[in-house]
Structure 1
Amino acid sequence: MPPRRAEPDVSPGPGSPEVRDALAAAAEAWLAHLGVERGVAGNTLAAYRRDVRRWCDFVRRSGRRAPAEVTEADVSAFVVGLRTEVGLSAASTARALAAVRGLHRFLLAEGTVDADVTREVRAPSLPRRLPKAIAVDAVLRLVQAPDTTTPLGLRDRALLELLYATGARISEIVQLDVDDVVGSDGEVVHVVRLTGKGGKQRAVPVGSHARAALDAYLVRGRPALGGSDARALFRNSRGGRLSRQSAWAVLRRAADTAGLPEPGGPPVGPHLLRHSFATHLIEAGADVRVVQELLGHASVATTQVYTHVSVDALREVYATSHPRAR
């Protein structure tokens, strides 16, 4: 009887599509879980999707046969490679590791793996960056920069006033509808409800200057911009909802008109008015936990960074005012 031939190995080999697809499918399930059940914002989900796709490709090239074969050393090598080969910043690398960690915790909870191989892997140290604010007079120049003789100028003034009045993120402002800022009496509300990260809502007062700017825009500006989106508070020139990118462009144009950034001053960024809002409140004596609620921070530790900015301001005043400070 002739010897029996060995059966060919048909299990997924190193870097096989089956392995890639298994991990990729798990990643898509995890992302769906974040979006549907956890309410993670779309921009965050898009960043996580890029990160886990990069991780799936790395695992495939490493020759692992299944997610359960991934090791802590693989995760560490991935993190190192992001810094040295891909050239990502420490912050972007830390975010990528957070995405990989979230995926593997999901795999553990689903019973796909027996251990979390990411648990002991450390993210790169992030440089401590204090938020930069501009002075009150610079804020006034900024919000007054738009030409309020035009519908778009009225919109831009209302947008900038509302950003500074509430300390909101640009993404939170552009998703507002008219009904969010106009009460049943037809007047602009004194308190607006903003929807932040994870769908968490918070109530934030709206000052008189912002209410006046909103009223002028709603009466004379918004109707002139057309109405392809009947609900959106801030419309673009075609009548649709103003995008986050376009709102950021409004801030940049106003900054150019206002002569910002000033020499030695902070660069103009999408959070410039948010940082200024928080810093000015802290410097005026507002309680840090109140500012935490207004900003929508989950932890007071995130808000406390503004107290350091305030201390720096106090030191500057002391150094220039006390007769024996120097």
Structure 2
Amino acid sequence: MSDDRQLLESWFGEFLLHRSTAKPSPHTLKAYRQDFTAIAGHLAEQSGLAASALPVEVITKQSMQQAFAAFAASHEVASIRRCWSTWNTLCDFLFSIDAIVANPMSAVLRPKAPKRLPKALPADAVTRLIATLQEDDTDGVRPWGERDFAIILMALLTGMRSSELIAVDIGDVRGATDPSNGGARVILVRGKGSKERVATAEPALVAALTGYLESRIERFPGTAKQRVAADATPWQHFRSADPLFVGADGARITRGTLQYRVLRAYRRAGINGERAKGALTHQFRHTFATNMADENVSIFTLMRMLGHESMNTTQVYTEGAGTGVREAAARNPLYRMLDGG
């Protein structure tokens, strides 16, 4: 093996190549690189070498203990736990290919995760948010009330992550192009790790999405189909591969735009203090899950609705008894509020 291949940085590249077969998300890859860079920096300080010149032999129990002690001094528990997990996975890989003689991470203490229940928005805060979104926004920069109402309502009623909302295409809302289908629509959701699941939209949500698409045709007539039937629905003005939610430029909405619009909605409704620290779109996911748990949806059904792989992740919301996904989604109390019940 060449000298370059003996370097820790080169082995990290091999590790990323190895992990690529598991299809990690861009967020996961970014976290791997951040965690590697952080600890490699501390190892470099210990050894007096540049981080790019560190040999793989620098990984020992003592060096890792010292590096993580320095890292922990300036980071929160969640960051320390994630970084520990990254390096534990990396060292497992290095051990499996005989690059190191043992995984030293068992000698590095990992802090326990604090037991916190996800914070849901109170019912009165949700009511104020929905009412505010249905009012005209005259003070914002390039306001688009129909779009903001539709995307926030979809988050509240499906529990989708921000990345999942962004990724939805027109064609993923199945059945919406059929004007005779007045019932629920099926939404194909592309979750973490390219895993797919199904969410449902009751008529109230479909109506909000349809109203948004009508406004989109008016805003961006050039992005819609030019030749459609006179009685075509707003859905039929778009191609299946067109993004469902777009930004002010008519292109697929970005994460930054989505988070900004959500934050603005919180502030307009006067409920910004009701959300968990750092939670914007994800606050709606917690609210959705809590609402479903309060309706006694089974943990197995809720796992499917949220796209969780582990029951432990879902157990913080519910210990309830069973019901089907469609029936469970339809029981969301927010639908009753939208229907005036």
Question: TM-score normalized by structure 2?
Answer: 0.76
Match of residue 214, structure 1, among 186, 190, 209: 209
**Divergent runs of 4+, >6 A:** 148-151
SS for the counterpart of 1:203 is strand
Structure 2 Cα separation of the partners of residues 265 and 239 of structure 1: 29
Aligned 1:144-183 pairs, distance under 5 A: 144-146=131-133, 152-183=144-175
Q: Equivalent residue for 2:67? A: 78
Q: Equivalent residue for 1:8? A: none
Q: Equivalent residue for 1:227? A: 223
**Residues 50 and 162 of structure 1, relative CA distance in 2, 3 Å threshold:** same
Counterpart of 1:162, as a letter, is M
- CA apart distance, 1:306: 1.5
Structure 1 Cα separation of the partners of residues 29 and 151 of structure 2: 26
Q: Equivalent residue for 1:322? A: none
Aligned residue-pair number: 288
Structure 2 Cα separation of the partners of residues 237 and 101 of structure 1: 43
Moved more, 150-159 or 172-181: 150-159
Counterpart of 2:306, as a letter, is L
SS for the counterpart of 2:281 is coil
Match of residue 31, structure 2, among 38, 47, 61: 47
Match of residue 188, structure 2, among 188, 193, 204: 193
Counterpart of 1:33, as a letter, is H
1:280 partnered with 2:272:
no
1:29 partnered with 2:4:
no
Counterpart of 1:105, as a letter, is D
Whichever of the two has the greater Rg, that structure is 1
Q: Percent identity?
A: 29
Which segments of 5 or more consecutive residues in structure 2 lack a partner in the other structure?
138-142, 225-238, 320-341
Structure 2 Cα separation of the partners of residues 55 and 168 of structure 1: 33
Structure 2 Cα separation of the partners of residues 125 and 223 of structure 1: 53
Contact 1:68 1:114 in 2 (8 A): no
Contact 2:65 2:107 in 1 (8 A): no
Contact 1:177 1:232 in 2 (8 A): yes
Report Cα offsets for 1:85-123 as digits up to 9, x if no partner. xx1111111111111111111112223223211134221
Which segments of 5 or more consecutive residues in structure 1 lack a partner in the other structure?
1-10, 13-17, 309-326
- CA apart distance, 1:147: 5.3
Q: Equivalent residue for 2:333? A: none
1:62 partnered with 2:46:
yes
- CA apart distance, 1:273: 0.8
- CA apart distance, 1:155: 0.9
Q: Equivalent residue for 1:3? A: none
Counterpart of 2:106, as a letter, is R
Moved more, 154-163 or 138-147: 138-147
Q: Equivalent residue for 1:115? A: 102
Q: Equivalent residue for 1:319? A: none
Counterpart of 1:75, as a letter, is M
Q: Equivalent residue for 2:235? A: none
Contact 2:296 2:318 in 1 (8 A): no
SS for the counterpart of 2:197 is strand
**RMSD, aligned CA:** 2.8
- CA apart distance, 1:52: 0.4
Structure 2 Cα separation of the partners of residues 122 and 235 of structure 1: 45
Structure 2 Cα separation of the partners of residues 277 and 80 of structure 1: 38
Counterpart of 1:253, as a letter, is R
Structure 1 Cα separation of the partners of residues 174 and 106 of structure 2: 48
Question: TM-score normalized by structure 1?
Answer: 0.79
